[in-house]
Amino acid sequence: MGFFSKPLFAALKEAGVTVFNNTTLNAFMELTREHWREVRATVQEKFRADCNAFIPNEAKVPLSEVNMHLPARIGDYTDFYSSKNHAFNVGCMFRGPEQALKANWTYLPVGYHGRSSSVVVSGTDIRRPHGQTLPTPTDTVPVFGASKRCDFELEMGFFYGGPSNGLGNRLDINKAEEHIFGMVLLNDWSARDIQKWEYEPLGPFTAKNQGTVISPWVVTLDALEPFRCESEVQNPAPLDYLKDPKFGQYDIKLQVFLKTEKTPEEQLLTSSNFKYMYWSMPQQLTHHTVSGCNMMAGDLYGSGTISGKEEHEFGSMLELCWAGKKEIKLLNGEIRKFLLDNDRVTMKGCCEKDGVRVGFGECVSSILPAN
């Protein structure tokens, strides 16, 4: 504790726990952004290159020997649908370009409540799910069986931090950013054939709860501040409660790689960027609380699939194969539309500017055969 200032030490003591001696970051997340900043600055100071020689060897553990875990106890999980390019692509597939975006899409961040119990850390494989599907587009009676259209979704997630807003209280857009603890990579595994049959009228359900995989490293907004950038102008202008004073995104380069059982090396499938998001994280969080929904430290929020305008920037197999109408040719000659058993998906992300690089690590998971 001697590393920290008296105010931070007092806050840690008042919390009633040793926040850095727990299996999760929840207690630390419950503090304020000022405390997160001080801890980050302290760690940077103590681990400067010129101080490295004074760090005891027993405090140094090779990354290859570290077993990474979920960074937080996730009480609730919400997934948004906030990439305009992705929403437009999917809308075009099923409704045509004239009705691709629903009337509400440009007025509010669309989302759904996910299943926090099936959020797992990178390296956890996901079992191919069972469910109801329609065998052909002309069928009206479903069959039960294993999904044939398993898909990844390239997303990023962020954790809520700070005190809860409390049930019945909504967050002010001007203060929402103070409650964003940090960001992770996120793979929202999806069973597209199950989803297509079950999503009306209430949206995603079992097609989305077989597993959501996140990277274990949480990157704070302070670390990302140098990479803040402009975003697409929102048209129409958002309602007053959603007018973000710092509106913009972060220039985070994202990649998805695929490795099959027949390929010795992974192949790049798509490259996208977080800056393509239409709705910002403060807008998502503010709208989530507009009805008085209470947030808790460690709650997780997914961005929704992140796609650019170009085909090589599409963030899902659904878009890359255009709902099964196109074939994806791999370098070894294999063909894919959706993922086959034992296909391994690796997501990577980083920010780079003026010789500075901030990485998010990897988000890795494979599709296992159905039981």
CB 72 within 8 A of CB 201: no
Question: How far is 88 from 84, CA to CA, in rounded Å?
Answer: 6
In the block, residue with structure tokens 């901030």: 358
- 86 in catalytic set: yes
Q: What angle do CA 183, 33, 173 make, to 5 degrees?
A: 75
Mode of pairing for the β-strands spanning 300-302 and 77-80? parallel
Question: How far is 252 from 268, CA to CA, in rounded Å?
Answer: 17
Q: DSSP string of 168-229?
A: T----TTTGGGGEEEEEEEEE-EEHHHHHHH-TTT---GGG-S-EEE-S--B-HHHHGGGEE
Of 35, 69, 86, 179, the catalytic one is: 86
Q: Bridge partners of 200?
A: none
Instruction: Name which of 321, 199, 333, 326 is nearest 260 in CA terms.
Output: 333
Q: How many residues does the chain have?
A: 371
Q: CB under 8 Å to 345, separation ≥6 — which residues?
A: 152, 187, 256, 257, 258, 339, 364, 365, 366, 367
Q: What angle do CA 99, 243, 238 make, to 5 degrees?
A: 20
Q: Bridge partners of 159?
A: 182, 300
Residues that are catalytic: 86
